């Protein structure tokens, strides 16, 4: 196993549930109050019931419905005090309570009855006036409730049904969002808002000043949009941050919002997409709606390549239609800004090369900012930021740490500081010392040691394997210096050899790459020279060898026979070349690797004494650092 550059990449740090997060919103936590549909329906029901109750008061009281015969009997008995007629319906009051004809022990004074149409009204009239009844009449159809009340009562059931329907629709949508049954009753929690979260600003971002400077203008605009509007200046609607994971893209976006003190909405593009077509688009719409309400604000869309891939490109998540619709909705929202609203979209991606060109057109993400891993000076600055609240021992040199951690990103460095602090705490120390940092760095760069007892035979073979890598690294002019050799098993590897450059390297020449192939083959070659067998321990090495050799031939134009052509792409898409060319590429790759292997075997055979010396030192100490390794081989660093 041969390890070359930085430690394993730390996976993305934020993976909270969907659909988006916000910080810095004005007002109370939770932002805009949400309509509670349960309460809404309940209120409707209560109002409805109250209406019935009240109207029943007006209506009947203790009105007794009696037959016409009964009524006539009371009139004849001169017991009727007054009568109110509404068409053929009559209500009235008796002078003295009369016995209810239906039930013996009940009596009544107020009554209502209907006059049969065929009854001779004249006779009734005479009888009534003869007994001195107070007679009034009312217009037909005017109930005691009044038209308005009647209308309302008849409309209520429809209103309730409509309310119920809307509620179910809403809940259905939020259930899709909330993820199946888990979303049940969770509709209120659809927008988690971390109000208490500490906001970051440019103070917290270090080592990438040139990137920061590109964003200063945007901060200024968000702070004082009026200044720009008066001059008619148009700002980019979208800024795309492109760079490897852990370089601080999310941090930067948050810092822009924090610096300008505007609300920050963030979502990962993959969180928008569900299996149901249309859900993503509606989530995007909601997100932008919220953001515009509190403008000026920032909408941050992480991993935008998950939906922003060029159409027809390979891979991606969710259905094709769903991805496309979600992307289109984002584009529509961005097009929809008049620019005066002050909502700026920041996107982030690890792979800008796969993005749909439509995303990068003017008026959309029309500014791309590359965020690269920091250089040595940047690493010092980042370490300073992350050790602000860590008590450091006097011997700690951040410069030294920065020098020995090429290729590490901001996230790696933050992790390094944390690991060192954990180690110091575990060791019961008050301050973090350089030794803690060194051990933490080793753990990050080489992996965590496994406590397994290796059989002696295998331990020796591993020592030869690693010594082979290391010696070839030391012998090649221009190769990265060997920093550490270890035969302590870590992860899947039985041993590790670590080489890192003195300064950050950005481009590699033919001889350097050839040297790396030879070094990577060194383990296998050593086993061949000493034992004349090949073991499975070289699998990882061979993967690296193949990758470099194929790159040299198929991508970097380093083979004369193939010439300066890109035949193999780096995103795994099928090669663009005729079968004959592909065969030639394979042949060239094979030639390079074969030559390198021969060179490796020859170098090791010629320097067998040095190989044996390193092996002896390794078996004794298990881990050699840079000076110990060069001393054992009796070599000085070139
Ligand atoms: P990305 O989004 O590019 O993958 P992040 O912004 O999530 O990276 O970075 C993860 C963490 O690494 C940050 O929270 C921060 O602690 C640290 N970090 C990364 N870059 C920097 C930097 N330039 N300055 C300070 N800290 C950084
Ligand atoms: Zn190896
Ligand atoms: Mg990120």
Q: In the prediction, which pLDDT does 353 show?
A: 83
Is 570 contained in some domain? yes
State which of 412, 446, 480 marks the end of a domain. Answer: 446
* Whether residue 339 is found in the same domain as residue 361: yes
The residue among 571 and 239 whose pLDDT is bigger is 239
Q: 9: pLDDT confidence band, cut at 50, 70 and 90?
A: very low
Ligand 1 within 6 A of 385 CB?
yes
State which of 319, 354, 369 marks the end of a domain. Answer: 369
Residue 484 burial (10 A CB sphere; 0-12, 13-18, 19+):
buried
* Whether residue 397 is found in the same domain as residue 493: no
**Bond prior to 19 in cis (omega within 30° of 0):** yes
Q: What is the Cα–Cα distance from 168 to 191, expressed in whole angstroms?
A: 19
CATH number at residue 419: 1.10.8.60
Is 38 contained in some domain? no
Q: What is the Cα–Cα distance from 156 to 120, expressed in whole angstroms?
A: 42
Please, what is the average pLDDT of the chain?
81
The residue among 445 and 140 whose pLDDT is bigger is 445
Ligand 1 within 6 A of 250 CB?
yes
Q: What is the pLDDT of residues 473-487, one digit of tens each?
A: 999 888 888 988 999
Number of domains in the chain: 4
Ligand 1 within 6 A of 254 CB?
no
CATH number at residue 114: 3.30.720.210
Q: What is the pLDDT of residues 41-84, one digit of tens each?
A: 888 788 778 877 776 666 555 678 888 888 888 888 888 888 88
Structure tokens at 28: 């109370």
Residues with CB under 5 A from ligand 2 (ion): 1-2, 523, 541
* Whether residue 358 is found in the same domain as residue 498: no
Q: What is the Cα–Cα distance from 609 to 628, expressed in whole angstroms?
A: 16
Name the nearest CA neighbour of 610 among 582, 633, 630. 633
* Whether residue 266 is found in the same domain as residue 329: yes
Ligand 1 within 6 A of 462 CB?
no
Q: In the prediction, which pLDDT does 181 show?
A: 35
Instruction: Specify the pairing of strand 297-302 against strand 343-349.
Output: parallel
Q: In the prediction, which pLDDT does 312 show?
A: 55
* Whether residue 411 is found in the same domain as residue 492: no
* Whether residue 431 is found in the same domain as residue 568: no
Q: 276: pLDDT confidence band, cut at 50, 70 and 90?
A: low
Q: In the prediction, which pLDDT does 566 show?
A: 85
Q: What does the buried/exposed string (b/e) look like for 71-103 if buried means 16 or more CB atoms within 10 Å of the residue's CB?
A: bbebbeeebbeebebbeeebbbbbeeebeeeee
Mean pLDDT comparison of 30-44, 219-233, 257-271, highest-scoring range: 257-271
Q: Would you say how long the chain is, in residues? A: 638
Residues with CB under 5 A from ligand 3 (ion): 250
Ligand 1 within 6 A of 245 CB?
yes
* Whether residue 331 is found in the same domain as residue 229: yes
pLDDT reading at 138 higher than 80: no
Ligand 1 within 6 A of 241 CB?
no
pLDDT reading at 15 higher than 70: no
CATH number at residue 517: 1.20.58.760
On whether the CB atoms of residues 299 and 346 are closer than 8 A, the answer is: yes
Is 402 contained in some domain? yes
Q: Which residues contact 455 (CB under 8 A, 6 or more apart)?
A: none
Q: In the prediction, which pLDDT does 517 show?
A: 95
Is 198 contained in some domain? yes
Q: What is the pLDDT of residues 157-191, one digit of tens each?
A: 888 888 888 877 666 554 444 333 333 333 333 34
Mean pLDDT throughout 208-234? 84
Look up tokens 């060319």; give the residue.
581
Closest residue (by CA) to atom 21 of ligand 1? 410
Structure tokens at 186: 């969770």
Is 91 contained in some domain? yes
Q: What is the Cα–Cα distance from 523 to 3, expressed in whole angstroms?
A: 12
Mutate to test the pocket of ligand 1, among 14, 388, 414 (most ligand atoms within 8 A of CB): 414
pLDDT reading at 12 higher than 50: no
Q: What is the pLDDT of residues 98-121, one digit of tens each?
A: 887 676 677 788 888 888 877 777
Mean pLDDT throughout 496-522? 88
pLDDT reading at 255 higher than 60: yes
Q: In the prediction, which pLDDT does 195 show?
A: 44
Mean pLDDT throughout 500-527? 89
Q: 221 CA distance to ligand 1 centroid (A)?
A: 24
Q: 194: pLDDT confidence band, cut at 50, 70 and 90?
A: very low
Mutate to test the pocket of ligand 1, among 411, 418, 421 (most ligand atoms within 8 A of CB): 411
Considering every ligand atom, which ligand is closest to the CA of 253? 1
Closest residue (by CA) to atom 25 of ligand 1? 205
Is 577 contained in some domain? yes
| R_g of the chain computed on alpha carbons | 42
* Whether residue 495 is found in the same domain as residue 626: yes
pLDDT reading at 196 higher than 90: no
Cα dihedral 332→264→254→356 (10° resolution): -10
* Whether residue 405 is found in the same domain as residue 551: no
Q: 312 CA distance to ligand 3 centroid (A)?
A: 26
Name the nearest CA neighbour of 344 among 212, 203, 221. 221
Query: Which of 99-113, 139-153, 396-410 is the least confident region?
Result: 139-153
Domain range enclosing 441: 376-446
- Which among 333, 466, 527, 588 is annotated as catalytic? 466
Q: 115 CA distance to ligand 3 centroid (A)?
A: 84
* Whether residue 214 is found in the same domain as residue 337: yes
Q: 411 CA distance to ligand 1 centroid (A)?
A: 5
* Whether residue 354 is found in the same domain as residue 398: no
Does the reported pTM lie above 0.85?
A: no
* Whether residue 474 is found in the same domain as residue 518: yes
Q: What is the pLDDT of residues 547-574, one digit of tens each?
A: 999 999 988 999 888 888 888 877 667 7
Does the active-site annotation cover 466? Answer: yes
On whether the CB atoms of residues 401 and 437 are closer than 8 A, the answer is: yes
Q: What is the Cα–Cα distance from 384 to 391, expressed in whole angstroms?
A: 12
């Amino acid at each position: 196993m041969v390890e070359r550059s930085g430690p394993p990449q730390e996976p993305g740090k934020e993976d909270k549930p969907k659909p988006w997060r916000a910080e810095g919103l004005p007002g109370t936590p939770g932002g805009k109050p949400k309509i509670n549909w349960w309460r809404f329906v309940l209120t409707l029901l209560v109002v409805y019931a109250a209406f019935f109750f009240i109207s029943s008061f007006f209506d009947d009281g203790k009105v007794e419905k009696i037959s016409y015969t009964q009524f006539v009997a009371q009139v004849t008995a001169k017991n009727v005090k007054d009568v109110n007629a509404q068409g053929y319906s009559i209500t009235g009051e008796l002078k003295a309570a009369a016995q209810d004809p239906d039930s013996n022990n009940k009596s009544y004074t107020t009554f209502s009855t209907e006059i049969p149409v065929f009854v001779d009204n004249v006779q009734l009239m005479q009888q009534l006036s003869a007994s001195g009844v107070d007679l009034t009449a009312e217009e037909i159809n005017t109930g005691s409730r009044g038209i308005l009340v009647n209308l309302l009562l008849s409309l209520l059931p429809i209103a309730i049904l409509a309310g119920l329907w809307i509620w179910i629709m809403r809940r259905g949508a939020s259930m899709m969002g909330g993820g199946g049954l888990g979303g049940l009753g969770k509709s209120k929690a659809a927008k988690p808002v971390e109000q208490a979260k500490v906001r970051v600003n440019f103070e917290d971002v270090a080592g990438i000043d040139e990137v920061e400077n590109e964003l200063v203008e945007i901060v200024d605009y968000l702070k004082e949009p009026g200044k720009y509007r008066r001059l008619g200046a148009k700002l980019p609607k979208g800024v795309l941050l492109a760079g490897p994971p852990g370089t601080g893209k999310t941090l930067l976006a948050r810092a822009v919002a924090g610096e300008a003190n505007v609300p920050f909405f963030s979502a990962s593009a993959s969180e928008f997409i569900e299996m149901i077509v249309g859900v993503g688009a509606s989530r995007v719409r909601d997100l932008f709606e919220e953001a515009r309400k509190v403008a000026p604000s920032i909408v941050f869309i992480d991993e935008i390549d998950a939906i922003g891939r060029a159409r027809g490109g390979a891979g991606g998540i969710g259905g094709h239609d769903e991805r496309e619709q979600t992307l289109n909705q984002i584009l529509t929202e961005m097009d929809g800004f008049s620019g005066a609203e002050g909502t700026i979209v920041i996107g982030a991606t690890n792979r800008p090369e796969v993005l749909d060109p439509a995303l990068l057109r003017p008026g959309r993400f029309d500014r791309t900012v590359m965020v690269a891993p920091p250089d040595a000076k940047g690493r010092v600055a980042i370490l300073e930021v992350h050790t602000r609240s860590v008590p450091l021992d006097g011997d700690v040199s951040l410069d030294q740490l920065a020098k020995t951690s090429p290729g590490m990103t901001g996230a790696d460095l933050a992790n390094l500081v944390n690991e060192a602090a954990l180690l110091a705490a575990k060791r019961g120390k008050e301050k973090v010392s350089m030794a803690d940092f060194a051990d933490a760095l080793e753990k990050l760069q080489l992996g965590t040691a496994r406590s397994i007892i290796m059989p002696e035979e295998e331990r020796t073979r591993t020592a030869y394997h690693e010594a082979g890598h290391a010696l070839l690294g030391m012998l090649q002019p221009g190769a990265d210096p060997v920093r550490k050799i270890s035969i302590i098993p870590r992860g899947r590897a039985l041993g590790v050899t670590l080489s890192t450059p003195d300064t950050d390297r950005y481009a590699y020449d033919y001889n350097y790459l050839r040297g790396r192939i030879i070094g990577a083959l060194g383990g296998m070659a050593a086993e061949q020279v000493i034992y004349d067998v090949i073991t499975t321990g070289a699998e990882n090495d061979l993967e690296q060898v193949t990758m470099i050799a194929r790159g040299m031939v198929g991508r970097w134009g380093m083979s004369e026979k193939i010439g300066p052509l890109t035949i193999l792409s780096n995103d795994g898409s099928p090669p663009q070349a005729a079968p004959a060319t592909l065969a030639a590429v394979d042949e060239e790759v094979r030639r390079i690797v074969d030559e390198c292997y021969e060179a490796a075997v020859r170098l090791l055979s010629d320097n067998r004494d040095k190989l044996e010396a390193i092996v002896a030192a390794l078996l004794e100490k298990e881990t050699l650092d840079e000076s110990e390794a060069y001393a054992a081989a009796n070599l000085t660093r070139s």
